[in-house]
Amino acid sequence: MKLDDIQKALILFFKKNTNEEGLTLREIAQEIWVKHPQTVLNKLNQLVLKGYFVKDEKGYRLVRESITDKFTDIVQLPIFGFAQCGNQGKAIIHEYSQEKMPVTMAFIGASDITNCFFVRAKGNSMEPKIQDGDLVLIRQQDSYDENDYVFVIHNQLPKLKKIIKQDGQFFLESVNRFFDKVEIDPYDETKVIGVVKKIIKNM
């Protein structure tokens, strides 16, 4: 878990500039005296894997300054295969090999991690909210609010969708406006596994 000089400089820079948004890699490189923006990108991605940063739709965020920080211990959450965003795929999510993703407790936002796991999005029906290849943090629960994005098993296919109700009928709704809603037939096998809590953009 040792950090090199550039990684330490990035942590210090983001600590001092917590309210700065929209900085380019080139601007960050100039501030920490690094020649190439690509070096900054590589080091930030390394810090994500080490649990110091997270990357979401707003960019990179510092979540952990030191290995001694309280409530920021790194935990390894499982990645269970793919969840479909418009494409066909294997029926059972556990058919995929299981990977691990290091994250901090601060990123998860809860002390109980036993019901949290990741799935990797596949397809483009949930763009721009969730894109192909994104890692999606799921908190396992069968209840959800109408504004939640859910991880649902629909006719044996794992999907990331929104469940809406119209005229007494339930539908699976995509974010991408080019995808039609899918009616949930009373005879369909439908089970809500959990709700989407965080999204790590594909790097």
Q: How far apart are the first and last CA of the chain?
A: 21
| Domains of the chain, earliest start first | 5-62 (1.10.10.10), 74-200 (2.10.109.10)
Please give the pLDDT value at position 97: 45
Backbone angles phi, psi at 105, to 5 degrees: -60, -35
Q: Where are the alpha helices (DSSP H) in 56-164?
A: 105-108
**Which positions of the chain have pLDDT values less than 50?**
67-72, 87-97
E strand or H helix at 172: strand 169-173
Please give the pLDDT value at position 70: 44
Backbone angles phi, psi at 81, to 5 degrees: 55, -145
